[in-house]
Amino acid sequence: MGSIRKAPRSGRWEARYRDPLGRQRTRTFTAKADAKVYLAAVEADIARGRWQDPASGRMTFADAAERWLRSNPRKKATTYARDATVVRVHLVPALGPLPLTRITPGHIQGVIEQMVARPLAPKTIRTNYGVLRAILSWAVDTDTLGRSPCRGICLPPLTRTDKRMASATDIEHLADALPPDYRVAVFLGALGLRQAEVFGLRVGAVDFLRRTLTVRATLNEVEGRMVEGSGKTTASARTVSVPQRVLDELAAHLARTGRADPSELVLQAPGGGPMRAANFRLRVYGPALRRAGLEGLTFHRLRHSAGHMMRELGVPLEVIQRRLGHASIRTTADIYGSLPERVDRNVAERLDELFRTACGADVVQPRSEGGAP
């Protein structure tokens, strides 16, 4: 239990208590009643496990963000770089000098409004808000902050837009527009590989005998350095069957480039070594899109096109999930869950065939407008 006493020299009232770690704490007040109210609140917080060190509330948002970035050493380099950019560009300029305990939901809403005004895409704003919320949740989890101010925040609604998808014919045209040493990248993208997975694919990952391809690693440029990783999620490591058309392209590519060592990268820069995404986009892929008349078809759209083509073939969502390396079937369903009209019509026709077969000769034909059977 705490106590209240009058300081002999100053004449002020001291509220004294021991914190959860047993350390003596003291706070002075002019009025005894104020000291009693304060002490009662502190003792209640300690009893409920909600007490926090008053000094921790003086930590600024900038300091908290820096500590949060360092708090997870297992975070992938690409994720760390993205989060650090969000903190540096969008969050610290708005909240950096504020003590954590002074940040209100109004401040958080203000950050969102600033991003809307820039303007940033709704999906980007939600990603940035996720970083902000994670920082403040970390502060709560470490007893640096009593309650997160991320409450009742209004985010811009996500809007679905019809983005260009590639057909099998588009894939062939685009491959023909690329330099010979890079046309295989389009077929790998249309197989469902992420761009970083294409760049990280090694010769030994292709099994021509079993007609399979194993995705084991990614290759990304992070702050000017090439970083090899294990994939976006654990589900990213996968082995998929490969169409003969893509196997033929791979065989021709490896023969033309003379890459036979299993450890060699399938796709390389013109002078050898890893391919940088920015160089590929600006010098290789972008010009090919213009030559093929397929502007707007980003490399990531090839991956989505693979999912849509499989959906049109009636491939189950579980199979699409595994081939694309989604961690959750929910992700696959959100993107490819809607049934293409052509597939839906085919279902109706097949059901009609089943009904007709089951009814046999008992099927009654509808009467014509003239009344004749």
Query: What does the DSSP 8-state code read for residue 206?
Result: E
Structural domain total, the chain = 3
Q: What is the pLDDT of residues 47-73, one digit of tens each?
A: 877 777 666 667 899 999 999 999 988
- State residue 254 phi and psi, 5-degree precision: -65, -35
Q: Is residue 191 located within the same domain as residue 311?
A: yes
In CATH, what number is assigned to the domain containing residue 211?
A: 1.10.443.10
Domain containing 34 equals 3-51
Q: Is residue 70 located within the same domain as residue 15?
A: no
Residues 39-48: what's their mean pLDDT? 85
In CATH, what number is assigned to the domain containing residue 83?
A: 1.10.150.130
Residues 255-261: what's their mean pLDDT? 94
The maximal CA–CA distance of the chain, rounded, in angstroms, is 115
Q: What is the pLDDT of residues 332-354, one digit of tens each?
A: 887 776 666 676 677 777 777 88
Boundary of a domain, candidates 31, 51, 71: 51
User: For residue 113, is pLDDT > 70?
Assistant: yes
User: For residue 249, is pLDDT > 60?
Assistant: yes
Please provide the average confidence, as pLDDT, over all residues in the chain: 87
Q: What is the pLDDT of residues 205-225, one digit of tens each?
A: 999 999 999 998 899 888 788
Give helix 299-312 / helix 329-336 axis angle, nearest 10°.
90
Percent of the chain with pLDDT over 90: 53
Q: Is residue 275 located within the same domain as residue 173?
A: yes
Q: Is residue 71 located within the same domain as residue 40?
A: no
Q: β-strand 13-18 against 3-6: which pairing, if any? A: antiparallel
Residues 34-48: what's their mean pLDDT? 86
Angle among Cα 144, 146, 147 to the nearest 5 degrees reads: 120
| 184 lies in some domain | yes
Q: Is residue 201 located within the same domain as residue 253?
A: yes
| 347 lies in some domain | no
Find which of 228-242, 329-343, 352-366 is predicted with most confidence, using mean pLDDT.
Answer: 228-242
Cα→Cα distances 333→2, 79, 120, 124, 350, Å = 57, 24, 26, 21, 24
Collapse the DSSP code of 321 into the 3-class scheme (helix H, G, I; strand E, B; otherwise coil) and give the result: helix
Residues 276-286: what's their mean pLDDT? 93
pLDDT of residue 373: 44
Query: What does the DSSP 8-state code read for residue 202?
Result: B
In three-state form (DSSP H/G/I as H, E/B as E, the rest C), the secondary structure along 218-255 is: EEEEECCEEEEECCCCHHHCEEEECCHHHHHHHHHHHH
Boundary of a domain, candidates 103, 124, 141: 141
Q: Which amino acid is at 269?
A: A
Higher model confidence: residue 237 or residue 290?
290
Angle among Cα 279, 280, 282 to the nearest 5 degrees reads: 65
Assign 3-state DSSP to the chain and report helix, strand, coil percentages, each to 5: 55, 10, 35
Q: Is residue 295 located within the same domain as residue 180?
A: yes
Q: Are 220 and 193 in contact (CB under 8 A)?
A: no
Q: Is residue 173 located within the same domain as residue 314?
A: yes
Rg from Cα positions in the chain? 31
Q: Is residue 97 located within the same domain as residue 209?
A: no
User: For residue 234, is pLDDT > 90?
Assistant: no
Question: pLDDT class for 364, splitting at 50, 70, 90?
Answer: very low
Q: Are 262 and 202 in contact (CB under 8 A)?
A: yes
What does the buried/exposed string (b/e) look like for 37-71 if buried means 16 or more CB atoms within 10 Å of the residue's CB?
ebbeebeeeeeeeebbeeebeebbbbebbeebbee
